[in-house]
A and B are shown apart, each in its own frame.
Chain A
Amino acid sequence: GAVVSQHPSWVICKSGTSVKIECRSLDFQATTMFWYRQFPKQSLMLMATSNEGSKATYEQGVEKDKFLINHASLTLSTLTVTSAHPEDSSFYICSARRAEGTYNSPLHFGNGTRLTVT
């Protein structure tokens, strides 16, 4: 149980275009999803917290107008990288917590999306 699916697994886009990444909880409902960014050989850095039915909360230094997050249902959150630049190339990973869980519930991660901006 507790499967989180991300799509696409990898994407290549041209500079200036926008890319949407989906994060789905397949066998549970998730009121909260988190979006992380990971550069090669580095740790995961939290970008934003996505709450179903409300605005996302962004971490300091993360541009909310560049990284648009929508959490329209209890099983889906999307991250859109707008006007992508080569420096946005990274591994983006989402995680989700069960709706019936507490803040202490373990987070289950998706398999990540490798974004390459040319």
Chain B
Amino acid sequence: GQQLNQSPQSMFIQEGEDVSMNCTSSSIFNTWLWYKQDPGEGPVLLIALYKAGELTSNGRLTAQFGITRKDSFLNISASIPSDVGIYFCAGRRAGGTSYGKLTFGQGTILTVHP
């Protein structure tokens, strides 16, 4: 199935640095979700976005729904070691028969050095 283009694939940063990752698609999405997955566990929802242009924060995390509805970004400020994990964007396409189904990005592997 279709996948979202998520970048970067991996990031190695120092504790305290800010992080930015994004997802793009050739299709329009009406929902963007950002998840974090720790090894051997299921994804945990971080932020949900429902409107084009929407900017939402969750603690040190901020995500935006692109105005074209074809992209979204996630920023993490002042990273800490427990931010380590794989971050996935996921989108729901507008219309069609894909009721409630999500399309996932390839993931961004984040490593934070103390």
Interface residues of A (CB under 8 A from B): 4, 6, 32, 34, 41-46, 49, 59-60, 91, 93, 95, 97, 103-112, 114
B50 with A43: CB separation less than 8 A: no
Interface residues of B (CB under 8 A from A): 1, 3, 30-31, 33, 35, 40-45, 48, 50, 88, 92, 99-102, 104-107, 109
Please give, as numbers and ranges, the residues of chain A lying within 8 Å of B41 by CB-CB distance. 111-112
B1 with A109: CB separation less than 8 A: no
Closest residue of chain A to B41 (Cβ to Cβ) is A111
A43 with B42: CB separation less than 8 A: no
Q: Which of B88, B92, B105 interacts with A104 by CB under 8 Å?
A: B92
B43 with A45: CB separation less than 8 A: no
Please give, as numbers and ranges, the residues of chain A lying within 8 Å of B102 by CB-CB distance. 34, 46, 95, 107
A46 with B1: CB separation less than 8 A: yes
Please give, as numbers and ranges, the residues of chain B lying within 8 Å of A34 by CB-CB distance. 100-102
Nearest Cβ on chain B to A3's Cβ, whole angstroms:
11
Given known pairs A104-B50, A106-B48, the reply for A93 and B43 (CB within 8 Å) is: yes
